[in-house]
Structure 1
Amino acid sequence: MSKLAHKTALVTGGGSGINLELAKALRDKGCAVLIADIALTPTAAAWLKSLGNQANPQVVFHKTDVTSLDQLVEVFEAFDRKIGGVPDIVVPGAGVYEGSFPGFWNDKDETLNYGILDINVLHPIRMTRIAIRKMREAKKPGTILHLSSITAQKPSVVLPLYAVSKAAISQFVRCMAPLDEMCGIRVVGIAPGLVDTPLLRNNSGSQNHVDPSQDFLLPPEEVVKAMVALLTDTKYAGGTVLEVGDIGSWREVHILGDAGPQGRSTRARAKTTDATAKLAKMLLGDEMNVFGSSKL
Structure 2
Amino acid sequence: MSGILENKVAIVTGGGTGIGKGIAIRYAKEGAKVAVTGRRLEKLEHTISSIKAEGREGIAIQGDVSSPEDIKRIISEVLSKWGRIDILVNNAAIEGEGGALLDITNEAWDEIYSINTRSVFIMTREVAKAMIEKEIAGKIINISSITSKTPPIHCSAYASAKAAVNTLTVCSALDLGEYGINVNCICPGLISTPMLETLDNRMASQGKITMTDLAGIMIATGRLMKRRIGEPDDIAKVATFLASDSAEYVTGQVINVCGGLETH
Short-chain TM bin: 0.7 to 0.9
Greater alpha carbon shift after TM alignment, 112-121 vs 22-31: 112-121
Shift of 1:206: 5.5
Counterpart in the other structure of 1:6: 7
Q: What is residue 87 of structure 1 aligned with on the other side? A: 85
Gaps of 5+ in 2: 216-227
What is residue 205 of structure 1 aligned with on the other side? 202
Please, which of 217, 232, 253 is the counterpart of residue 220 of structure 1?
232
User: Which one of 185, 191, 194 corresponds to residue 190 of structure 2?
Assistant: 194
SS in 2 for 1:140: coil
Q: Distance in 2 between matches of 1:114 and 1:209?
A: 27
- For the structure 1 residues 236 and 159, does the alpha-carbon distance in structure 2 shift closer, same or farther, using more than 3 Å as the test? farther
Q: How many residue pairs were aligned?
A: 245
Q: Identity of paired residues, percent?
A: 27
Shift of 1:214: 4.8
Residue 114 (structure 1) shift: 2.5
Structure 1 residue 139 displacement after superposition? 1.7
Give 1:46 deviation, angstroms.
3.6
Q: Which amino acid aligns with 2:257?
A: V
Counterpart in 2 of 1:118?
114
The 1:46–1:205 alpha-carbon spacing in structure 2 relative to 1, beyond 3 Å, is: same
SS in 1 for 2:61: strand
User: What's the secondary structure of 1:194's corresponding residue?
Assistant: coil
Spell out the pairing of 1:110-149 with structure 2 (5 A cutoff). Answer: 111=107, 114-149=110-145
Mapping for residues 130-279 of structure 1, pairs under 5 Å: 130-179=126-175, 181-203=177-199, 204-205=201-202, 207=204, 208=208, 210-215=210-215, 216-232=228-244, 233-234=246-247, 237-246=250-259, 263-264=260-261, 266=262
The within-5 A match list for 1:9-28 is: 9-28=10-29
1:103 aligns with 2:98: yes
Equivalent position SS for 2:25:
helix
Change (3 A) 1:55 1:152: closer
* Cα deviation digits, residues 237-260 of structure 1 (max 9, x gap): 2201111121xxxxxxxxxxxxxx
- Contact 2:19/2:236 (8 A) holds in 1: yes
Q: CA-atom RMSD, angstroms?
A: 2.5
What's the TM-score, normalizing by structure 1? 0.75
- Unmatched segments (≥5 aa) in structure 1: 247-262, 269-296
Q: Residues 27 and 51 from structure 1, CA distance in 2 versus in 1: closer, same or farther, beyond 3 angstroms?
A: closer
Change over 3 Å in CA distance of 1:142–1:50 after alignment to 2 = closer
Structure with more relative contact order (C-alpha pairs < 8 Å, separation 6 or more): 2
SS of 1:189's equivalent? strand
Residues 166 and 154 of structure 1: CA distance in aligned 2, closer, same or farther (over 3 Å):
same
1:157–1:114 distance in 2 versus 1, CA, 3 Å:
farther
User: What's 2:30 paired with?
Assistant: 29
Higher helix proportion (structure 1 or 2): 2
